[in-house]
Amino acid sequence: MKVLIWQTAYLGDVILTTPLIRTVREELSASKITFVGRPFIEELFSGWDIELIPFNKGFLESFKIVRKIKDHDVAVVPHRSLRTALIIMTSRIPVRVGFDRSEFPSAFTHRVEHRWNMHEVDRNLELLKPLGVSKFIRDTYLPLSDEEKDKTLTGFGLKDEEYIVINPFSNFPLKEPDPGLWLDLIDLLYPLRVVITGVARDRERSKEFEKKKGVLNLTGKTSLRELMAVISGAKLLISCDSSPVHIAGALGTPAVTLYTSTSPDYGFYPLRGSYIVNPAPCSPCSPNPKRCPRGTLECRYSLRSQAVFQSIKKFL
């Protein structure tokens, strides 16, 4: 049996499909597992023996990819976009399993109810029930060797250090608490070393953290695999609702998520660690908020550093 898994959403969403991949391998004994995702999957899954098809979502590429996937027997599709559904339908893969909240559910031969108030891992695994699977592997996974980890930590001067990673940034600004919260939290954590992470576009904003004692700012300075290594060596990750939380879980590092406009009810909370729900009365407003419905940004300023510190002390 040849099984295709399609998830072309964000980094965190892809990591949360890894239990799906592992369960397919174990329970369906697939002769071939193919994963379609954004181009970063080649780096993210480097060293994992599954076939990877990077997809840029271009117009012409959407037609070309049909030829690459049409020889599969089963397609399991957590992604809910219209483009994805049309490509999967056009491929004529005999068994196509997707969510009933897909933008074109008729593309699928089997439709599974999409529900909030459950973890995304469990939501994805529900897609295997029409295939007769009832035993699931729930742990996320990322391939990372000890040698790769040691090399990265040595290069950044972290090999023999105890440190905490703080990830203040997100693709969605409304998921980010006020920067002042992080600055106060760094003071409360001192003298424990703090490593700040983020992508290149966050580099300018991250400079304010460099003024604090004991801070190593790696924002925009790591590759994806180097970020994985840094998080894997940390005592704890503290983050907004963003993909490093799921990197941490897949590598065995506990994480604490600070929520602003989103909520654990959407199902993206840490599998290892804890979370802090936002006290703002208007929170949550959306899984991926692009603007504040009230125009107040109240949720970004509602968390208090002392309360956060008390919540993470058990991990220290």
What is the band of 29 on the pLDDT scale with cuts at 50, 70, 90? confident
Does domain 2-131 correspond to CATH entry 3.40.50.2000?
yes
pTM over 0.85: yes
- In sequence order, the 6+-apart residues with CB closer than 8 A to the CB of 228 are 142, 144, 247, 251
DSSP type of residue 170: -
Q: Which helix (H) or strand (E) holds 74?
A: strand 74-77
Q: Which burial class, exposed, middle or buried, applies to 56 when counting CB atoms under 10 A from its CB (0-12, 13-18, 19+)?
A: exposed
| 58 or 299, greater pLDDT | 299
Asked if 69 and 76 count as a contact pair (C-beta separation under 8 A), the reply is no
pLDDT, tens digit (0-9, with 9 covering 90-100), for 116-158: 999 999 999 999 999 999 999 999 999 999 999 999 999 999 9
pLDDT, tens digit (0-9, with 9 covering 90-100), for 200-236: 999 999 999 999 999 999 999 999 999 999 999 999 9
Fold match between domain 2-131 and domain 146-315: yes
What is the band of 189 on the pLDDT scale with cuts at 50, 70, 90? very high
What mean pLDDT, rounded, does the chain reach?
Answer: 96
pLDDT, tens digit (0-9, with 9 covering 90-100), for 92-117: 999 999 999 999 999 999 999 999 99
Residue bearing tokens 């003071």: 187
* Amino acid letter, 168: P
CATH tag, 146-315: 3.40.50.2000
Whether residue 245 is predicted with pLDDT greater than 90 in this model: the reply is yes
pLDDT at 25: 94
Cα→Cα distances 137→16, 115, 124, 183, 232, Å: 12, 20, 11, 38, 21
Whether residue 57 is predicted with pLDDT greater than 90 in this model: the reply is no
Residue ranges covered by each domain of the chain: 2-131, 146-315
Question: Measured between alpha carbons, how far is 64 from 279 in angstroms, rounded to an integer?
Answer: 48
Asked if 70 and 91 count as a contact pair (C-beta separation under 8 A), the reply is yes
Whether residue 58 is predicted with pLDDT greater than 90 in this model: the reply is no
